[in-house]
Every structure is written in structure tokens, then in C-alpha cells.
Amino acid sequence: MIIDCHTDFQPLQEVWLGSPYPISFYDDLDAELKECFHRLTEDTQTTLSKMEKVLVDHNVIVRKPEFDTDSSNYRDKNDMLIKPPMSPRDFAMCLSDTLYFLDHGWKINPYKKVIEEYQSKGENVHMVDRSKPYAWVGYGEVVRMGRDLYYDVALEQGSPRQLRNCTEGFKKLGEGYRRHLLHFGGHADGVFCPVKEGVIISTHYGEKEIYNQTFPGWRVHWLPDVTIQRQKKAKQSRVMPEFHKWWIPDNFYHSPVFNKHIMDKVRHWTGDSTETVFDVNCLVIDEKNVICFCEDDTILKILQSEGLTPHLIDHPTRGFWDAGFHCMSTDVRRAGGKQDYFSTRPHDFEKEYK
């Protein structure tokens, strides 16, 4: 079996990594724009290469997207480049023995080759139907915990219909699991990370009372709110306020021409990194090794106190992509099988936490 995943911390054996587009896809742009995109791509690829090396050194099989040389296969009807597959967690999730894949409109799927390989070996690959409510479920908002499944959906979703589709979709996706509906803000892997059985690392967006109910008896370590200081640095910079959502001090891609292009043409590629605590967005290799970023030393102290080795990787383009190492990957197979971490709960347990 290739696809077999039940938590985010059991020993990782196979994983997908994301990728920006090849630098050749920007060759039709003016020189200043092209230079900025080339630099963004090269810095991002450096980070991904370091991730891959750590993973391979720990005997993890790494699968990566492949691109056709013709960029038109990755453009929308308005000839704009679709967001590259930087964060496979946004569109792919392995739940038990099934890979769910939500296509983003590419004419040639960057993961086509690996998906076809899985299918040829009899693996369960489910291409998500965008017309169904379960297509609304964001995979970065789902936390797998053996027989329990957690889903963080924002109460202030854009419309009642959207909120209804998200909650109904989670029920469908989570059939056979004990289901927990959270409302931390709509992006669980930016709120907390279970790094091993019995241990959670949380940002200030989490709530102690909720953890006491959802992960009873588990230790919760808290990260400081680093977004306050980061916002102060942004205000002191030469960057215009409208660009602060995707700019961080590590980024030097703030020429007026580049900024305008981002806002006018590819704003959908970026998020709002002013609110993101990247240190929590870890990729756990196993219960002794974690790939992480360190904006504040607290993350190192926590991991070391719990017997985990932090593998630090610099990630200077994190603000542009608004993605940490968990977002930039999708775990396909982890050893250990489906465990019951909360065996006293009824098998049909279901609860919404407000």
C-alpha cells in the first residue's frame, strides 16, 4: 500500500512537495519583472531543495510536480498564470487509504505522472467533484488523529451557504470518524500542530479550554505572537502599506513595478502573512524529527524539551506564498496505521466547539 496516512506525526515514508513554476514561464515579462520572479523562484527552490535533502536523509520518498515547457498549459482563460502548486496541502490530502485531489484548472496536472502511477498500482485516488459540498473543505484545515478528525472552519465564512457547504462537506469526508468541528479561524495548521502523541504546539489563535476537550490530557506548548513585531518592521520599511500582506523583511522583491504586477495580476497567489505564525506550520518527520522555521527561539526550546530534533530551514519567501513547511507538503504514507488516541470516546462521537 502506498497511500496510508492517519496522523501528522507518525513516521513519514512518502511525501509530496510543492514547487513554483520554472523561471522560463516569466520570460515574456519586462526585464525588471522577470528579474524579480526569477529571484523569487530561485529562493523558493533553494528552500524546497533543503527540505528534500532532510527528508531523503531520513529515508522518506519525495515526489514532486513536473511541468510541461509550454506555460499556456498553466494559464486561465484570461491568459493569466494559475497559482503554481506551491502548497499541495491546499488541494491534496491523504485520509486513510484515499488520496483526495482537487484540480486547480491546470490543463496539464503537475502531479499527473505520480497520480497515474498510484492508479496503475490500484491505489485509491479520488478526483474531487467541485459541485459537491465536500469540495469546500480546505485540507489545511483538517487535522487527522487516528479515529478522530478535526476541521477548523471560520464562523465568519463569506456566506451562510459557504459555511453550510463546509460543515456538510466535513460530515461526508469524515464518515466513519469521530468528528470535531472547530472555529479557531479557518486554518488549523496555522493554529496548532500535534508533534507527537500527547503533545501539541499552539499559536495564540488556539484556546486552552477547547484543547482540554478535544485533546484531553495532552500537553500544550504556546508560541508567542510574533506577528506584532513583524508588522512593526513592515511599517518601518520602504514598502507601501497595501503590500504588507505578502511582504516580510526577508523579501526584497518590492520594486514598484513588481508590486503593481502582483496586485493587478496574481494577487490570488498570495495570502495575508501579517497574521501567520510560520513556526507552528511544521512538517513532522517522526516523533523525534521535525522540519521547522524559527522566527522565535521558543519553537526550538519546545521541541528540544519534548525530545524532538528541530531541522531548521530558512524560508525567505514564506511571506509571498503565505506557506510554511506543512502547507508546502502533503504526506502520502506514514507508518503505524490507524490508532485510537481517545479510546473512551463513543465511536459515533460528533461535536461542534464554539
- pLDDT tens-place string over residues 145-195: 999 999 998 766 567 788 888 889 999 999 999 999 999 986 899 999 999
Mean of the per-residue pLDDT values of the chain: 92
Cα 59 from Cα 161, distance rounded (Å): 44
What's the whole-model pTM score?
Answer: 0.94
> What's the first-to-final CA gap in the chain, in angstroms?
38
Q: What angle (nearest 5°) sits at the alpha carbon of residue 248, between those of residues 36 and 154?
A: 115
Which of 30, 44, 85, 40 lies closest to 254, judged by CA?
40
What cell does 92 get?
Answer: 491534496
The domains of the chain, with CATH numbers, are 12-339 (3.75.10.10)
Contact of 186 with 154, CB cutoff 8 Å: yes
Question: Residue 222 is inside which H or E element, if any?
Answer: strand 219-222
Q: pLDDT band at 275, cuts 50/70/90?
A: confident
Distance CA(147)–CA(28), nearest Å, equals: 50
C-beta separation of 99 from 126 below 8 A: yes
Name which of 316, 304, 331, 310 is nearest 139 in CA terms: 331
Paired with 75 in beta bridges are 81
pLDDT tens sequence across 75-109: 999 999 999 999 999 999 999 999 999 999 999 99
| Cα gap 291→130, rounded to integer Å | 32
Three cell numbers written together for 334: 506514514
Sequence-distant (6+) residues with CB within 8 A of 98 are 3, 124, 125, 126
Q: Please state, in angstroms and rounded to a whole number, the distance separating the CA atoms of residues 151 and 142.
A: 5
